[in-house]
């Protein structure tokens, strides 16, 4: 990859922060957006801005065509069998809530659902709310000190009363790549469905939902160089048809009378109201951009960044890295002995280094390690080895100032 050429596609990487060149290592929270995607969104508002699916006039038809073309791009990227198995949402959290809300009307008292210890809060709280409504029982796959799920314990949790398993493909806090193929296969063996939170995996791993045989897969565009406020819920047609609608309103109906309403077919059943049209089109443009570079090439380069940064940080006295799974994406969570992660992050920011500090919406992981949080550096294909060197030098300065 020509990384410098790629960096030229990202206007924000040219700016300075506190008088220093920006080093953006908060990609696990939100990736940056290339000019190609920005231009696509501007072009929509300049030339096609109209509501979709509802108008016979030219602008509406053109906007509809662009929006549905984006759906087809997402279908192709994730290898869904049919375009209507792709539901546009506001993001991963919205996608998960559509499924949890549907299951709240399906499950019965005593049914069991399984989550992992590595989850983001958005893949914990909706299921807890669902269990409170239904009387279903929430069980947890534990993790070990390396940040790896204990699969023998998962085997013991599965039973004929297990109805749904939901785990992330990649941990946002630690970068651990979970063995989702094994998780899916074993869940299906007891008749349970599986939802995979792909928000952290999608920037690094091109999931093939048919090959995985997963029932639901969710992600957000803003993790994939796309705009914020848009994401996707993939669901097998049979799974989505079984779920009731999440919201009522325009577009998701077939016929409305005051006596009875019948719902529209997929995907419109779950897409009530005017959607984020520009966001959906931008999502498609972002996937075009990533696929032009090549997802395998991106993953290989990011693996080099991860190894380089891990070695450099391990050479700094007092640094402890959390999450050392054999299979990881380009995320490093670490602390420095005796120094609060917030203080490290604040000084790094003064030196132009953008990292994330805190519990990363994964408080159970922090409780497991008995720490208040971590400093998280997360890398993308537009980052460089020189930027890692800058972070390491800035970290050394921060340690000198704070010790």
- Bridge-based pairing state of the strands 137-141 and 193-197: unpaired
Q: Indicate which residue of 17, 140, 150, 361 is catalytic.
A: 361
**Strands (DSSP E) along 117-181, which ranges?**
137-141, 162-168
- Bridge-based pairing state of the strands 374-378 and 261-263: unpaired
Pair of tokens at residue 151: 């699969």
Q: What's the per-residue H, E or C state across 262-321?
A: EECCCCHHHCCCCCCHHHHHHHHHHHHHHHHHCHHHHHHHHHHHHHHHHHHHHCCCCEEE
Q: Of 331, 322, 402, 335, which Cα lies nearest the Cα of 375?
A: 335
Q: DSSP assignment of 170-198, as one string?
A: B-TTT-BBP-HHHHHHHHHHTT-EEEEE-
Active-site residue flag, 361? yes
Task: State whether residue 376 is helix, strand or coil.
Answer: strand
CA torsion sign for 44, 46, 48, 52 is positive
Q: Cα 64 vs. chain centroid, distance in angstroms?
A: 26
**Residue carrying the six token digits 């450099």:** 312
CB 24 within 8 A of CB 14: no
Alpha-carbon distance 32 to 13, whole Å?
9
Residue 313, classified by CB atoms within 10 Å of its CB into exposed (0-12), middle (13-18) or buried (19+), is buried
Catalytic residues: 361
């Amino acid at each position: 990859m020509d990384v410098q050429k790629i960096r030229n596609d990202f206007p924000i990487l040219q700016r300075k922060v506190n008088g220093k060149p920006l080093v953006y290592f908060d990609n696990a929270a939100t990736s940056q957006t290339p000019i190609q995607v920005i231009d696509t969104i501007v072009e929509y508002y300049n030339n096609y801005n109209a509501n979709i699916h509802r108008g016979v006039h030219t602008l509406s038809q053109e906007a509809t065509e662009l929006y549905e073309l984006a759906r087809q791009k997402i279908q192709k990227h994730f290898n869904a069998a049919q375009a209507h198995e792709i539901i546009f949402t506001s993001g991963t959290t919205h996608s998960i809530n559509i499924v949890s809300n549907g299951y709240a009307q399906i499950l019965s008292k005593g049914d069991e659902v399984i989550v992992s210890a590595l989850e983001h809060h958005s893949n914990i709280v909706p299921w807890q709310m669902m269990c409170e409504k239904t009387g279903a029982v929430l069980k947890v796959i534990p993790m070990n000190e390396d940040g790896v799920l204990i699969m023998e314990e998962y085997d013991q949790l599965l039973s004929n009363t297990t109805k749904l398993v939901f785990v992330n493909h990649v941990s946002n806090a630690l970068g651990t790549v979970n063995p989702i193929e094994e998780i899916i296969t074993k869940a299906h063996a007891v008749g349970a469905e599986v939802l995979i939170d792909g928000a952290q995996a999608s920037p690094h791993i091109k999931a093939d939902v048919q090959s995985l045989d997963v029932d639901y897969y969710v992600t957000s565009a803003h993790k994939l160089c796309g705009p914020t406020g848009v994401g996707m819920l993939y669901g097998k047609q049979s799974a989505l048809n079984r779920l009731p609608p999440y919201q009522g309103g325009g577009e998701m109906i077939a016929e409305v009378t005051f006596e009875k309403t019948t719902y529209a077919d997929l995907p419109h059943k779950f897409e009530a109201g005017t959607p984020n049209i520009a966001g959906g089109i931008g999502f498609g443009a972002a996937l075009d951009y990533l696929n032009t570079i090549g997802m395998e090439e991106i993953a290989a380069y990011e693996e080099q960044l991860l190894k380089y940064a891990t070695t450099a940080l391990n050479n700094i006295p007092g640094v402890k890295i959390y999450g050392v799974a054999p299979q990881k994406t380009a995320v490093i969570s670490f602390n420095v002995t005796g120094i609060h992660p917030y203080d490290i992050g604040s000084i790094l920011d003064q030196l132009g280094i953008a990292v994330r500090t805190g519990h990363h919406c994964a408080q159970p992981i922090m409780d497991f390690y008995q720490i208040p949080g971590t400093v998280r550096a997360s890398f993308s294909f537009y980052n460089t080895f020189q930027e890692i060197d800058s972070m390491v030098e800035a970290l050394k300065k921060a340690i000198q100032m704070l010790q």
